Structure 1
């Protein structure tokens, strides 16, 4: 994950509120802004250029990049030809995203625009569209990809299709962005539908940071964008706890932790032991670091897939190992169950592979 980003929709709120949201995002280290011209149908090209220039200039002051969602019909509406993108340079935008495209050749030539704008293409088609663009020798330094978001419940991408699209894109060495959505009441996007905004349907009702953890776990998503307005300061705080490039786990704790358990869980660097069992993913080095730390037997119940276990004093030299349960096992008085991976985040278990680093988020 290279960057985090937000989305803003000036046609639906005041510039004052949008600037406050940009401030919040910038203060949390966010670097991207997505906005949409598909839904701006009541303004002329000149009006759009003047109104959005203020937004772009403010975003740049905060160190953020702004890319606008367009389509051939939008370009026609504002009087822009595909081979002359000076309108967006005059608007002080950093690039455009083509929600719908042309013929491959045009997209490739668009990346060579003298204005230096980024051309971001739709990553969700999965039909060879991006291969076609790349066959025409685009300027790859200006070509990026971004998935759709889906306002309608049950319309988001399946994980299978998402992975196929990403695999095809990465063969062309292009960046990938995808969307997550806040589920708090009152959020909105560009369209008058409030059923959440996300790229993957399975993410729709999950907490914002859980959606981000799952995208990071895929290992090939470069930028993660919040699709709807307005995420809360608390949601921003949770996103900023995540480590890019590492599997991030956030367990539900079942009881207060002993001090030794707390140190093992949160203070030690973890990776999955290479000789991995089908029953659990083991982080074994905490047993060395905390060899002198006592961990009393507690909550030694039957172990279910998704449980997190720490070995107690009864296991001798193995005391302090952290196990993530992948297959049900009977209770063992030497193994403390301290919590579990939340429902809906089971794909994080599938991402636990030999030698893969992971962190545990409080």
Structure 2
């Protein structure tokens, strides 16, 4: 399941409501929010959670609320009055180590409970079983890491997930957004450090490749084009990438393609390219072919003339191959996920994206 974050450090406004509606329309199914309440804003957070729950219910979204510390009580709610929270639209609570396993087991009979993936131990699991927790409603959620250099390593992440899955937990992790980055650092909110500042869709696809069941955007927003790319992947299984033009033949590569089933090591080969009617392609800009270059075989390549490729691994210049464009740096990480038979679309870069 895919989800996104809404932070309650300010009242929900029309911009926030519009973002919630837009994300739901793009295929996202859940909201994560955190109740870290300053002492002077206790009353505000109760209303904000009520407003968020109402909008979530209207969009049929799940709502997971982080209740670290005594946040619920400060806002006027109680872990002993779960029906009140459920009526608001809350579908799950994220509980940390300060809450007893007995309480967690009790809550799991009524709501989904997400536990801190990094701190779950075999002892916790034994205690949860002892207290008859409903394990079908227990999930393991990793943290996000606002400070650069503090995110998890891939190796440690995979090792922990193996332990969690061996105990039947579904795993959740955060990917960074690329708009409305979280204050005060504005450095993204990823679970994995290697995802910091990377394209959100590339991070999402990477998480999917590691069999992570729930993937949430940690930051407060996504750019419009990023949402368009995600929607294209969700609904049509098409990966769209933007490219800059380097030759007059650039227009030939625009549009939808499909990588050949026999996926090449060094290039993505458009399966449809040589079936297109095109004029003779003369040699032009036969320069080095770095990763992300879009290339067309020219007339010196004989029957291969017109073949369109995206370069995956740096290649030397070839006088038979024109470099007609380049995938922009922001979208280049998506190249990794254009595998065998994957549909993809090349679009011209626009300055207002």
TM-score w.r.t. length of structure 1: 0.73
SS in structure 2 at match of 1:24: helix
Q: Is 1:270–2:259 an aligned residue pair?
A: yes
Residues 66 and 358 from structure 1, CA distance in 2 versus in 1: closer, same or farther, beyond 3 angstroms?
Answer: same
Shift of 1:66: 1.3
In 2, the alpha carbon distance for the partners of 1:183 and 1:71 equals 26
Matching of residue 155 in structure 1 with residue 141 in structure 2: no
SS in 2 for 1:268: strand
In the other structure, the counterpart of 2:175 is 179
Q: Is the CA contact (8 Å cut-off) linking 2:253 and 2:308 kept in structure 1?
A: no
Q: What secondary structure is seen at the aligned counterpart in 1 of 2:285?
A: coil
Whether the aligned pair in 1 keeps the contact of 2:139 and 2:171 (CA below 8 Å) is yes
Contact 1:152 1:195 in 2 (8 A): yes
Task: Tell me the equivalent position of 1:212.
Answer: 201
Alignment equivalent of 1:144, drawn from 136, 139, 154: 139
**Cα separation, partners in 2 of 1:295 and 1:358, compared to 1, 3 Å:** farther
> Equivalent residue of 2:344, what SS?
strand
* Structure 1 position 169, deviation (Å): 4.4
Distance 1:284 1:311, change over 3 A: same
- Deviation of residue 56 (structure 1)? 0.6
Give yes or no for the alignment of 1:188 onto 2:182. Answer: yes
> How far apart are the structure 2 equivalents of 1:244 and 1:216?
14
Aligned to 1:255: 246
1:273 CA displacement: 1.8
Partner of residue 303, structure 1: 289
Q: What are structure 1's unaligned runs of at least 5 residues? A: none
Displacement, 1:248?
3.8
1:286-297 counterparts in 2 under 5 A? 286-287=272-273, 289-290=275-276, 292-294=277-279, 296=281, 297=283
Shift of 1:57: 1.6
- In structure 2, the partner of 1:21 is 19
Residues 1-362 of structure 1 mapped to structure 2, 5 A cutoff: 2-3=1-2, 5-39=3-37, 42=40, 51-71=48-68, 73-74=70-71, 80-81=78-79, 85-100=82-97, 107=104, 110-111=107-108, 113=109, 115=110, 117-123=111-117, 125=118, 132=125, 136=129, 139-170=134-165, 172=168, 174-183=170-179, 187-188=181-182, 192-206=184-198, 210-218=199-207, 219=209, 220-243=211-234, 248=239, 250=241, 252-255=243-246, 258=249, 261-262=252-253, 266-271=255-260, 273-274=262-263, 276-277=264-265, 280-283=266-269, 285-287=271-273, 289-290=275-276, 292-294=277-279, 296=281, 297-343=283-329, 355=340, 357=342, 359-360=344-345, 362=347
Normalising by structure 2, we get a TM-score of: 0.75
Q: CA deviation at 1:141?
A: 4.0
Partners of 2:143 and 2:173 within 8 A in 1: no
Q: How many residues are aligned here? A: 340
Cα separation, 2, equivalents of 1:43 and 1:300 = 63
> Which runs of 5 or more structure 2 residues have no equivalent in the other structure?
348-353
Deviations 1:35-65 (A, max 9, x none): 1013455566x97555422321222112222
Taking the aligned partners of 2:60 and 2:240, their CA distance within structure 1 comes to 30
Q: Where does residue 350 of structure 2 map in the other structure?
A: none
Q: CA deviation at 1:344?
A: 7.4
Per-residue deviation, 1:133: 7.2
Cα distance in 1 for partners of 2:164, 2:280 equals 47
Cα shift readout 1:287-309 (whole Å, capped 9, x = no counterpart): 4533x434613322122344343
Conservation of the 8 A alpha-carbon contact between 1:101 and 1:121: no
